[in-house]
Amino acid sequence: MVKLSRLSMVVFTLLFLFIAVTVNCSAAEDKVLKIATVNDIKSPSLLGDYNTIIFSQISNPTLFQMNSNGKIIGQVVDSFEVSPDNTVWTFNIRPELYWSDRKPVTGEDIAYSINMYGKYGKSGRWLGEAITDTKVDGNKVILTLNKPYTNLDREFATMYGIVPKHVWEKIDNPVNFTSEGPYVGCGPFYMDKIDLTAGKIIFKKNPYWKGDAPYYDQVDISWFKNKDAASEALESGAMDTYYEYSSSYPYAAIDSLMSTGNFELLEKPTSGMTFLGFNMNKTPVSDINIRKAIASAINYPELVDISILGHGSVPNEGFVPTIMDGYVKTPQLKYSVDDAKKILADAGYKDSDNNGIVEGDDGKDIVLNFLSRSSFSREAELIQEYLKAAGLGSEIRSVEDNTWYELKDNYDYDITLDRTTPAGMIMHASLGTCYFDSRRTGGGVLHNVDDPVFLNLCDEILATRDQSKLTTYAQELQNYYAENLPGIALYWKNDVTPYNKAIKGWYSNPIYGILNQYTFTGVKPVV
């Protein structure tokens, strides 16, 4: 008796499972573009969740955007004017933009969005302090600022997506508002559902979009908790492409992906770099010779091979990479252990006890306090080896991000590994200055340069929109970087975006990759 009921239970369960499997294996879709990512959404908040904001580029575009060459061009804004003293900015809003609930996008929406960020936002608070007056005149929005700002267009190319006033003005504390959707948007798609349990965000075609009609009816962005699962989803054909903010498709997985024969790679250089930073005020690293020696001791070609599997190149002197608007060419960095040793010897560092490590001013072996973020443990290992070959000892402390923020804010290191993101590179006075200016603390920046020459240069860049002056300043900045070495880029890498061969029309910009309007209006299957 017992055996029979147990048997039937087993059979029943198996049957149930079988049905479940078959039901899910046969799926009919109408035209859906599927994107895999590892940027997970933690809470369904259009304005409050970091990664939701990134994905909202499709549905709630920003005023400006970057084109694939890194130039700032208009998106919601058609054109703009700036007063000669840089305190009054006039934006002309593009006509023919409609919200997904049929209402047109007006200057009121823009004015509302900007002021909302200024009042409630976290990263946008500075707007609240900076903007003294907002005027809307038809399709013009005029902002008056409390002091000269020369780069508002750059600031508005990231993060501050516009939202409809008629929906959001009723909401208390919009930045903390959570809802699974749908959210009204004015891009080619609008955000229909944020499904945390299924792990995906669903965008549906905006019926009132007047631009080029997208081929797809729906865009699904699914996030995975580990990269291998995402890669596997791509390889098995469950996903059409891969996206990761400020990052490339994992280089190690590329070979496996290409061997399926179904994919092509979109490879573009990026200004996101891993770099070695120095504590400029602490001996021995405060000595320029030590930094120059380190710059020669790093085996750049090997790093390009091992860290990024050849998808990049050896960087040039200076900090600004080729892809950036304002790049100034400098000679390539050279790897030479002999040069490194010579620089140390010429500067007076000797290895009197012949143990392979030179001694510092205090007569003791130089052992550098090497603080590394745990994500760079491989690079740290390699660099430790390179330094040792040149005669410099180091001790690695590998910590997770938050601990790293605290330690580096207290300058508790000699050398450290950090990374830049394309958005970070254009912040402040652009060209990577936000990583070094000691007046801007916090987050992922090193704020390790307090040299008045550098700080003045930053201020001068911030004070003008004159293109010819800016070109001169860019040159001075690059030279400063090359001569003073506050940070050394380990390699210049390419961001690789794989996409299904059967689909064409991909467009990638340095900051948001394929998440831009050109991609989503342009992608379609190859016929």
Partner 1 sequence: MNQRENITKKIKEPVLIIAISILLCFLLWSLVPQFFTSCDDHTRYKPYLYPSFLHPLGTDDIGHDILSLVIYSARISLIIAFTAGGLSIIIGVSIGIISGFFPGIIDDILMGLTDIVLIIPKIPVIILLAAITRPDLMLLILVLGLFYWETTARVVRSRVMQVSGAGYIQSARCLGFSSGWIMIHEILPVIYPVVLPKLMLVVAGASISEASLSFLGLSDPTMNSWGKMIADAFTHGGFIRGMWWWYTPPALCIVLMILSCVRIGMIWEQTGTETAFE
Partner 2 sequence: MPEQTALLSWIIRKAIRYLISGFIVLVIVFLVPRLMPGDPVRNLVGEDVWLSPATLQALRSEMGLDLPLNEQFIHYLLDLFSLNLGYSYHLNGPVLNILLGRIPWTLLLIGTSILAGACFGVIAGALTGWNPERWWARTLTGSSLLISSIPPYILGLAFLACFSFYLHLFPIKGLYDTPDIFSIIYHLTLPVLVLTLFYASRNLLIMRGSVISERGLLYPQCARALGIPRQIILKRHVAKNALLPVLTLIALDFGFLFSGALFIEIVFSLQGMGSLIYDAILLRDIPVLTGSFLVISVFVILANLSVDLISVLIDPRVRMGRE
The CB-of-39 to partner 2 minimum distance in angstroms stands at: 10
The CB-of-19 to partner 2 minimum distance in angstroms stands at: 7
Site for partner 1 contains 354 (CB under 8 A)? no
Site for partner 1 contains 260 (CB under 8 A)? no
Site for partner 2 contains 442 (CB under 8 A)? yes
Q: 28 is in the binding site of which of partner 1, partner 2, none (Cβ under 5 to 8 A by kind)?
A: none
Q: 210 is in the binding site of which of partner 2, partner 1, none (Cβ under 5 to 8 A by kind)?
A: none
DSSP state letters, 240-268: SEEE-TT-PSPGGGHHHHHTTS-EEEEEE
Cα(342)–Cα(356) distance, integer angstroms: 14
Residue of 56, 45, 40 whose CA lies nearest to 223: 40
In the structure encoding, which two tokens stand for residue 486, read together?
């506050």
Among 67, 179, 281, 374, binds partner 1 (CB under 8 A): 374
The CB-of-21 to partner 2 minimum distance in angstroms stands at: 6
Phi and psi torsions of 45, nearest 5°? -130, 115
Cα(141)–Cα(164) distance, integer angstroms: 15
Site for partner 2 contains 286 (CB under 8 A)? no
Site for partner 1 contains 253 (CB under 8 A)? yes
Cα(370)–Cα(362) distance, integer angstroms: 19
Among 40, 232, 264, 287, binds partner 1 (CB under 8 A): 232
Question: Which span sits near partner 1 by CB under 8 A: 202-210, 227-235, 433-441, 510-518?
Answer: 227-235
DSSP character for 36? E
Among 16, 336, 346, 483, binds partner 2 (CB under 8 A): 16
DSSP state letters, 146-215: SS--S-HHHHTTSS-----HHHHTTSSSGGG---SS-----SSEEEEEEETTTTEEEEEE-TT--SSPPS
Among 421, 497, 500, 521, binds partner 2 (CB under 8 A): 421
The CB-of-188 to partner 1 minimum distance in angstroms stands at: 33
In the structure encoding, which two tokens stand for residue 464, read together?
């003008």
E strands, 388-512, in order: 393-399, 415-419, 487-489, 492-500, 503-504
Site for partner 1 contains 231 (CB under 8 A)? yes
Complex with partner 2: residue 393 or 444, whichever CB lies closer: 444
Among 104, 148, 182, 199, binds partner 2 (CB under 8 A): 199
The CB-of-373 to partner 2 minimum distance in angstroms stands at: 10
Residue of 51, 401, 407, 415 whose CA lies nearest to 247: 51
Site for partner 2 contains 256 (CB under 8 A)? no
Among 43, 79, 146, 256, binds partner 1 (CB under 8 A): 256
Site string for partner 2, 226-245 (x = CB under 8 A): x--x--xx--x-x-------
Q: 306 is in the binding site of which of partner 2, partner 1, none (Cβ under 5 to 8 A by kind)?
A: partner 1
Contact call for residues 461 and 473 (beta carbons, < 8 A): yes
Q: 256 is in the binding site of which of partner 1, partner 2, none (Cβ under 5 to 8 A by kind)?
A: partner 1
Helix (H) or strand (E) holding 74: strand 72-74
Site for partner 2 contains 28 (CB under 8 A)? no
Cα(277)–Cα(315) distance, integer angstroms: 15
Site for partner 1 contains 29 (CB under 8 A)? no
Cα(472)–Cα(191) distance, integer angstroms: 43
In the structure encoding, which two tokens stand for residue 84, read together?
């000669």
Complex with partner 2: residue 178 or 332, whichever CB lies closer: 178
Contact call for residues 387 and 359 (beta carbons, < 8 A): no
Task: State which of positions 103-162 bind partner 2 (CB under 8 A).
Answer: 122-123, 125-126, 129, 159
The CB-of-23 to partner 2 minimum distance in angstroms stands at: 5
Long-range contacts of the stretch 76-79 (C-beta < 8 A, 24+)? 76/105, 76/110, 76/162, 76/186, 77/153, 77/156
Among 381, 450, 459, 483, binds partner 1 (CB under 8 A): 381
Question: Which span sits near partner 1 by CB under 8 A: 28-36, 114-122, 274-282, 381-389?
Answer: 381-389
Q: 224 is in the binding site of which of partner 2, partner 1, none (Cβ under 5 to 8 A by kind)?
A: partner 2
| Residue at token pair 């508790």 | 412
Residues 6 or more apart whose CB falls under 8 angstroms from that of 306 comprise 378, 382
In the structure encoding, which two tokens stand for residue 403, read together?
């601990």
Q: 312 is in the binding site of which of partner 2, partner 1, none (Cβ under 5 to 8 A by kind)?
A: none
Q: Could you tell me which residues are beta bridge partners of residue 365?
A: 359
Complex with partner 1: residue 175 or 399, whichever CB lies closer: 399
Q: Could you tell me which residues are beta bridge partners of residue 204?
A: 190, 218
Residue 493, SS3 per DSSP = strand
Q: 507 is in the binding site of which of partner 1, partner 2, none (Cβ under 5 to 8 A by kind)?
A: none
Site for partner 1 contains 397 (CB under 8 A)? yes
Interface ranges with partner 1 (CB under 8 A): 226-228, 231-232, 250-253, 255-256, 305-306, 374, 377-378, 380-382, 385, 396-400, 402-403
